Amino acid sequence: MRILVVGAGATGGYFGGRLAQAGRDVTFLVRPRRGEQLRAEGLRLLSPHGDATISPELVTAGHIASTYDVAVLSVKAYALDQALDDLAPAVGPDTMLLPLLNGLRHLDTLTKRFGEKPVLGGVCVVATMLDDEGRIVQLADTQELVYGELSGAASARVAALDKAMQGAGFTARASQAIAQEMWEKWVFLATLGGITCLMRGTVGEIEAAPGGADLALQLFAECAAVATASGHPPGEKFTARIKATVTAPGSPLASSMYRDLQRQRSVEADHILGDLLARARRLRVPAPLLAAAFANLTIYQRRLSAR
């Protein structure tokens, strides 16, 4: 199976790198500057599961000569439109599009551009970051990739994709409930991202502040209520796990959005918080803390963009 990974940043670089390390046919679609760095230094992974330096197959926009069996979309949401322009020549009649973006708005963007047929649902669970040297640093042990038809049906193409993903050094599984899993991840990311950015601290720091744990639980309840009103109520086990996660004493956990904020980088506020808030308002679900977190990050992003 020919795999095109769109982006070689923290997420795509990690999973694509592990696939390449395992001998899969992987090519990365990258920007020229990132391509130069990877050709000179290799794709470098620093991980509790083992460090690696890979010499990746690379292609840049305007130089795609053939189509691929699957394109894994791992760019930030605010870079998606440009990525789709770059990707278009790689999409044939049977190409699968596997997005690993946060939230759900990207599904509308993909289907509008390419139609419903090629689009799968996808969820990745990994904590990685791109450091100042361009290395991909894995921050925790968890590494899972989940994919499936948005309809929930089993299909031969997902079975083929699943076969290609097995044994590549991370947990991989096909799901017949991928839409539910995408909603649950969105609820978690909006809660974690919203509370750590709003409070400017890790989970443990927030829990240690007066009323901090209650604020985290309130934000989770708002996000979960939006999912429920949208027909995807979070499951009991998920709810218990996330409540424990966002109120864990001493936890160093923080969202990637908070790490980006600390480093004065753009954040995905519109796609993780803003879209969820818009759905809350359409469905008449009260979400005052979600609104506060989104307003806070909107101010930050506008100041950053004005520089």
pLDDT-based confidence at residue 229 (cuts at 50, 70, 90): very high
Write the single-letter amino acid at 173: R
User: What is the rounded average pLDDT of the residues 240-248?
Assistant: 98
Please report the pLDDT score of residue 122 as a whole number.
98
Q: Could you write out the DSSP letters of every residue in 16-74?
A: HHHHHHTT-EEEEEE-HHHHHHHHHH-EEEE-TT--EEE--EEEETT---S--SEEEE-
Q: What does the pLDDT look like over 12-34, one tens digit per residue? A: 999 999 999 999 999 999 999 99
Q: What does the pLDDT look like over 210-223, one tens digit per residue? A: 999 999 999 999 99
Residue ranges per domain, the chain? 2-176, 181-305
**Superfamily of the domain at 2-176:** NAD(P)-binding Rossmann-like Domain (3.40.50.720)
Share of the chain above pLDDT 70, in %: 100
Q: What are the C-alpha distances in Å from 5 to residues 42, 71, 141? A: 16, 6, 22
CA distance 18 to 12: 10
Residue 307 predicted with pLDDT over 90 = no
Which residue among 163, 185, 237, 243 is the active-site one? 185
Question: What single DSSP character describes residue 214?
Answer: H
Q: What does the pLDDT look like over 131-176, one tens digit per residue? A: 999 999 999 899 999 999 999 999 999 999 999 999 999 999 999 9
- CATH class, range 181-305: mainly alpha
Has 185 been annotated as catalytic? yes
Share of the chain above pLDDT 90, in %: 96
Q: What does the pLDDT look like over 105-131, one tens digit per residue? A: 999 999 999 999 999 999 999 989 999
CA atoms within 13 A on the CB side of 197: 36
Q: What does the pLDDT look like over 45-66, one tens digit per residue? A: 999 999 999 999 999 999 999 9
Biggest CA pair distance of the chain:
58
Write the single-letter amino acid at 211: G
User: What is the rounded average pLDDT of the residues 179-199?
Assistant: 97
